[in-house]
Amino acid sequence: MKVALLQMDIALGDVAANRRKAGAMLAEGLARGARLFVLPELWTTGYKLAEIATLAEPEGGPTLAMLTAFAREHGVEVISGSIAEARDGKVYNTCYAIDADGEVVAKYSKIHLIGLMAEDRYLAPGDSKALFELSFGPAGMIICYDLRFTELPRALALAGCRTLFVPAEWPASRGAHWRALNVARAIENQLFVIAVNRVGRDEHNIFFGHSLAVDPWGEVLAEGSADGEEVVVADVDFAAGEEIRRRMPVFADRRPQCY
């Protein structure tokens, strides 16, 4: 399956401009044969956190409507990247999984909020993981800073997850960690990891790019540049993961009673 990773710059706080850009990138990925599309974190707003309550969309808002319509019209699957979502008087950093009929099959709100980027001042944390099925098998999603917390990807893997999606806005100042952690999560959990990071800069950070698709053996199948907007298309054989698990049966050798 061809997977399109939409590595985009984000116009801070300009929701309409960001939707237009994403629409053009979705069209490019479609023209290049992609059947699965993945967007980055908070791509409609960027980290305009002081205004996030005003910029946030309600559940089922226009951005989600745009993505579900795209999936339904073209018979493709979409991982929405995350959207600032208003519900119950709070704002959540929320990602959706959308099937080829344009139906939402799962949503996930970021559990771990990073104080270094002031998320905990403006956003509410989620409280549950997301495991779901799409055409290529069982999958899960985490968001950016969640990548540092090994327990969450491991819990998803133990529940049957075979592909992990990671939309992010990861800064260049911690760029080496981005690549190392994504590859480590893939190897230790024997998962495909599809991680989409933004490029460009905001008021406080330069972002790292390097969106990447990693197989369960830790091989990088495709990777974006450090600073360029691009649609990275990865050719992913999702069935190959089971052969890797048979070859190296790590999960059968676990001894959780000891730890």
| Known catalytic residue at 28 | no
Which CATH number covers residue 91? 3.60.110.10
| Known catalytic residue at 2 | no
The pLDDT, as a whole number, for residue 164 is: 99
The pLDDT, as a whole number, for residue 42 is: 98
What number of residues does the chain have?
259
**The one catalytic residue among 41, 57, 85, 169:** 41
pLDDT, one tens digit per residue, over 182-226 is: 999 999 999 999 999 999 999 899 999 999 999 999 999 999 999
pLDDT, one tens digit per residue, over 6-20 is: 999 999 999 999 999
Range of the domain at 106: 2-258
**The one catalytic residue among 21, 107, 110, 129:** 110
**The one catalytic residue among 21, 77, 129, 144:** 144
Dihedral-angle region of residue 160 (phi above 0 means left; psi in -120 to 50 means alpha; beta otherwise): left
Q: Which of 74, 68, 66, 72 is nearest to 2 (CA)?
A: 74
| Known catalytic residue at 21 | no
Structural domains of the chain, count: 1
